[in-house]
Structure formats: C-alpha cells, structure tokens
Amino acid sequence: MSSNKKLLVLPGDGIGPEVMREVGRVVNWLSRRRGINFDITEDLVGGASLDAHGVPIRDSVINAAREADAVLFGAVGGPQWNHVGFDKRPELAILTLRRELGLFANLRPALVLEPLVDASPLKADLVRGLDLMIVRETVGGIYFGTPRGIETLADGSRRGVNTEVYTTHEIERVAHVAFALARQRRGAVCSVEKSNVMESGLLWREVVTALAARDYPDVTLSHMLADNCAMQLAREPRQFDVIVTGNLFGDLLSDLAAMLTGSLGMLPSATLGAVDAHGRRPALYEPIHGSAPDIAGKGLANPLAQILSFAMLLRISFGLDAESRTIEDACSRVLSSGLRTGDIMSAGMARVGTQVMGEAVLRELEKLEG
Ligand code: IPM
Ligand code: MG
C-alpha cells in the first residue's frame, strides 16, 4: 500500500477542466523537484456527471471524497442545465459534498496583489494591500433549513418557502474557525448578521459575543449588519481582517469582496469540516470564480485561482507551507512579468490564454528552484 496522500480531483463543468489541467503541471513539478507524490483520482461532477450518469454527483464520488485526504474542486453549472429540476441541478454536487462531508467553514480570502492593484474597480488607494478573509458558514442557514419547498395553495397560486436556521453549535464551530484564523492574522473578527430583523441573527450575535468573551479575549470582536457590511466593503474594505457570517450573507459578501480585488479569476477558497478522532479534517478547495460558461472551452480562462486553491490545499491539509508559498510566489511573479489573462487585463500588459499562463507559472517555479 502506498502511503501517498489521497487527492480527489473534480474538475466539473465550464472552465473547470481547462484550469484544472494547469494544476497538473504544478503537481508534476512537486513530484519531480520535491519528491512529493499524491494518489490522484479524478471523477465527474455537476453537469458533466448529470450528462454521463443522470445525477450531479454519484454516491461513489461522495465516498471517494470521504476517503480522500483532500478534494480539489473546479466549478459546476452552465446554461445548458438551467432547465433541470432542483433535485438534479449541477450545483447540487458542491452542496451535497459540503453537507455529506460536514464542510461547514468556507474560507474565502480577498487579497490584492500589488501588480493587480489597478485591476480593481475601486481606486487603487482604497484597495492597495487589501487582505481580508471571509469565513462563511456552509452547511446551515437558509440553504438547508426546513421547511422548504414550493406548494400550491387552495386558490391555485403558489408559495415558495425557505427557512433560516442556526443553532448554538453551528454558530460556535464556525466562529471558532474565524477566531483561530484572526489570531494568525491581525487579531480582529467582524461578525455579520441581520440581528435587527432576524431571530437567527440575534442568536448569532449573542453566541459569537459569548464565545469571544470566554475563549478569545485577545481577539477584537465587532459586529455589523449585513447590509452595512456590503456598504463598508465597497467604501473602506481595509477596515476588515476576518469576517464571519452565515451561508447566504457569506455567499453575497464573498462575491463582493472577491470583486474588490479586480478578478474572481485570482481567488482560491477552502471549505473545512471538523477534525475527527484520528486527527483528519475533511477539506475541499475550489476557486471562487465558478464555471464561466461564456468563455469555457476557449482557452481564455485564468488558471491562477485553481492553482492557488491547490497551494491552499498543500498548506492547510498537508502542512506543506514552503511548497505552498513557492507556488504563490510563482503566481505573483508571473503577474509581475506582465502576463495577463483577459479577466485581469490592463493597458500595457501581455494578454495570454490559460495554457501560456500555466506554463509561465511552471517556468517561475523552476526559476525559484534555482
Ligand atoms: C458559491 C456558489 C454556490 C453557493 C452555488 C454554486 C451553489 O455560489 O460557492 O458561492 O451558492 O454556495
Ligand atoms: Mg456564490
């Protein structure tokens, strides 16, 4: 039996497969230069799985994800599956993985690298040096709460229902992740909800406040209503270090935060579960950008978010800090050298496609190796 770490790779739909291909170069580099090898299995998820197997994710894939040391995910969804029912939607692949593996804490960094400071739609002065982290709860809240559904009323009209639910335990476990991260960063957590209108938000605020007082007196805790947080993110994003929030607000705010950096194509994410009795922690890594059907298959997509997701995987799941940093450095250097995919293009830079970008990362890796 090999003792290599087990990696499940799920490229998914749209640009997923083409950006994942570029990660392959980095995987090969690790093996060749650092003697680090993985047992890699690859499978279909999302629309690709729906077309091939009639379901967005097979039980065998969920089991493989459970057995893997980490899952590297691409993206799912696309207009060709817009008509399929809720029980078959490609998005169910990621939602099911989150639920089945108990992946409750989604870490979404928004980081502005100096070479990309002008790619932000905000003024450079507002975003230079931006480095914030959104910790989004991902297995609770209105995404999973019951009752849910669409019912037909007596008069023939219909009623759609979803329910926002959070328990003390669900709030505490994600808040723990946020507080622990803040300790490794600038020591500040901003907890976000709508406690002015929602009981679940009020409980959220109370639980986070109590937890901070009990276990994290060294961390600075503040609270913000979600609408104000959206405004503050656009107004003065550098006021934030770690933001912790529920599933739906986290979905919205993390897209906003990502856009502050100028490109969704640059940002990785990690979704973590609880550490089990054997010290193993289920974890899934995916870029924030989604499947980008408009440019899929054209070789135009930015592979950096997928490569940086892999770097995040190396650090968080395997403790390979040095390798992770080297890969991040290589990505920065590619940008400093002036190469840009369309999503981050700016005047005077050289526009390249997915593959050239991937090759450039590999070249920088080789240079860093000396
Ligand atoms: C995300 C996505 C997903 C979500 C979709 C694909 C279900 O928007 O990861 O942010 O809403 O959580
Ligand atoms: Mg989203």
Residue 332 domain-assigned (yes or no): yes
- Catalytic option among 227, 276, 294, 321: 227
- Whether 255 and 355 map to the same domain: the answer is no
Residue 327 domain-assigned (yes or no): yes
pLDDT above 90 as % of the chain: 91
3-state secondary structure of 58: coil
317: tokens are: 């799941």
Kindly report, residue by residue over 43-76, the tens digit of the pLDDT. 999 999 999 999 999 999 999 999 999 999 999 9
Last residue of a domain, one of 263, 285, 305: 263
Instruction: Give 265's pLDDT tier (boundaries 50, 70, 90).
Output: confident
pLDDT above 70 as % of the chain: 99
CA of 251 to the centre of ligand 2 (A): 5
Q: Is the pLDDT of residue 3 over 80?
A: no
Atom of ligand 1 nearest to the CA of 95: 7
Range 224-242 average pLDDT: 98
Last residue of a domain, one of 263, 285, 301: 263
Query: Which residue lies with its CA nearest to atom 1 of ligand 1?
Result: 251
Q: Is the pLDDT of residue 1 over 70?
A: no
Domain count of the chain?
2
Rounded to 10 degrees, the C-alpha dihedral 333/334/336/338 comes to 160
**Is 87 among the residues known to form the active site?**
no
Sign (positive or negative) of CA dihedral 237, 131, 239, 123: negative
Q: Is the pLDDT of residue 274 over 60?
A: yes
Residue 268 domain-assigned (yes or no): no
- Whether 216 and 93 map to the same domain: the answer is no
Going by C-alpha positions, the residue among 322, 320, 323, 331 that lies closest to residue 358 is: 331
- Whether 215 and 98 map to the same domain: the answer is no
- Whether 259 and 116 map to the same domain: the answer is yes
- Whether 173 and 224 map to the same domain: the answer is yes
Kindly report, residue by residue over 90-137, the tens digit of the pLDDT. 999 999 999 999 999 999 999 998 889 988 899 999 999 999 999 999
CA of 68 to the centre of ligand 2 (A): 24
- Whether 66 and 142 map to the same domain: the answer is no
Residue of 45, 94, 134, 286 to test ligand 1 pocket, by largest number of atoms within 8 Å of CB: 94
According to the model, what pLDDT value does residue 2 have? 58
Query: Which residue lies with its CA nearest to atom 4 of ligand 1?
Result: 251
Atom of ligand 1 nearest to the CA of 106: 9
Whole-prediction pTM value? 0.93
Last residue of a domain, one of 263, 289, 312: 263
- Whether 149 and 160 map to the same domain: the answer is yes
Kindly report, residue by residue over 282-324, the tens digit of the pLDDT. 999 999 989 999 999 999 999 999 999 999 999 999 999 999 9
- Whether 220 and 303 map to the same domain: the answer is no
Return the amino acid letter for 250. Answer: G
- Whether 212 and 329 map to the same domain: the answer is no
- Catalytic option among 5, 13, 166, 194: 194
Q: Is the pLDDT of residue 263 over 80?
A: no
Lowest mean pLDDT among 11-25, 258-272, 297-311: 258-272
Q: Which residues, 6+ apart, have CB-to-CB distance to 126 below 8 Å?
A: 120, 236, 237, 238
Residue 329 domain-assigned (yes or no): yes
Going by C-alpha positions, the residue among 305, 311, 288 that lies closest to residue 19 is: 305
Please give the mean pLDDT across all residues of the chain: 96
Residue 112 domain-assigned (yes or no): yes
**Is 166 among the residues known to form the active site?**
no
CB 84 within 8 A of CB 264: no
42: tokens are: 């690859």
Q: How far is CA 330 from the centre of its chain?
A: 21
Domain with 211 in it = 105-263
Query: Which residue lies with its CA nearest to atom 8 of ligand 1?
Result: 251
According to the model, what pLDDT value does residue 309 have? 98
